[in-house]
Every structure is written in C-alpha cells, then in structure tokens.
Amino acid sequence: MKSVVCDTGPVNYLVQIESVWLIPSLFEPVILPRSCLRELLSESAPGRVRQWADSLPSWMEIREGSSTELISLKGLSDADIEVLILAIETKSVVLMDDLAARRYAQSLGLAVVGTLGVIEIAARRGLISLRDSFDRLQQTNIRITESLYQQILERNSDLA
C-alpha cells in the first residue's frame, strides 16, 4: 500500500460519517501533520471529531515537516503547507479537499485524492456503499456540488 499524508478536511468528514477507518484500509502508513491535529482538536471542530482526535488510533502517525522551502506560499493554510512538505519528504499520496491546495500539490507532481475519492475507491473495493456514504456526507457541512455527487454516482452506477 502507498503512504498518505492527510489534511484536516477529509479526516474531519470521514470521522463525521464514521468512515475514517477507510484511510488505513487504503493507505499505509497514514501520516497526519501536527498542524492538522491542532485543527481537529480546535473548538470549532465538531465534538465527535475533537473526541476522535483526542484519542487517535494507533494507525495514525503524527509528524511535523522539516523543510521550509514551501513556507512562502500565498493562499494556503499552514496545515496545507505542512501536508505538502510531508508528502514531498515521504513521497506520499496527499489526502486533501481544498481546490487551491490540490492544484498546487498536483503541480508538484504529487498524487492527490479527496474525501469523495476515498469513498469512491472504498466502494469499488466493496468496503462500503457509495450511495449510503454520500447520503451521510451530505448531512455534514462539506461543500461539494450536487452535480459532482451525481457524476460520481453515474460513473459508478453499478455500485450506487
């Protein structure tokens, strides 16, 4: 399996829909930057997410990026930057949803997957129901258009 560095958003949403276990089912090792852990523990995070982050599972490795070459990126959060630094250092897949950060990661040659991608891959492997996961995800505050959900459902009509 390929290693992954997780941004806050996908972990947050997968915890909320009780599917965070999919990450270590698809990737190994699973790395979470310390800055993302701080966001998951913040008062603005949902209670379920804070509780999960307060007692991290053993498969989640907390790390800090050591390089500073990306620090001056405008428009990206500190957590996004640390995700990118760690992904470069560990030659890992990036798990993130933020469009600007995803585009930058791709420009660096990094493989990127988002929350919907994790759900889609897991559904293709028979681990979960695509439609049920999407229904639960739509109950969160994730910002994804209905047309994107429909595109994925149509692409996977045999799974939905």
95-119 per-position pLDDT tens digit: 999 998 999 999 999 999 999 999 9
Residue type at 59 in one-letter notation:
W
Asked if CATH classification 3.40.190.10 holds for the domain at 4-116, the reply, yes or no, is no
Q: What global pTM score does this model have?
A: 0.93
Please state the φ and ψ torsions of residue 144, each to the nearest 5 degrees. Answer: -135, 135
Q: How many CB atoms lie within 10 A of CB 87?
A: 27
Q: Where are the beta strands (DSSP E) in 34-75?
A: 60-63
Whole-number Å distance between alpha carbons of 117 and 65: 25
Radius of gyration of the chain (CA): 15
Going from N- to C-terminal start, the domains of the chain cover: 4-116
> In three state form, how does the secondary structure of 67-120 look?
CCCCCCCCCCCHHHHHHHHHHHHHCCEEECCCHHHHHHHHHCCCCEECHHHHHH
The terminus-to-terminus CA distance of the chain in angstroms comes to 26
- The 10s digit of each residue's pLDDT in 28-69 is 999 999 999 999 999 999 999 999 999 999 999 999 877 655
Over residues 57-82, mean pLDDT: 81
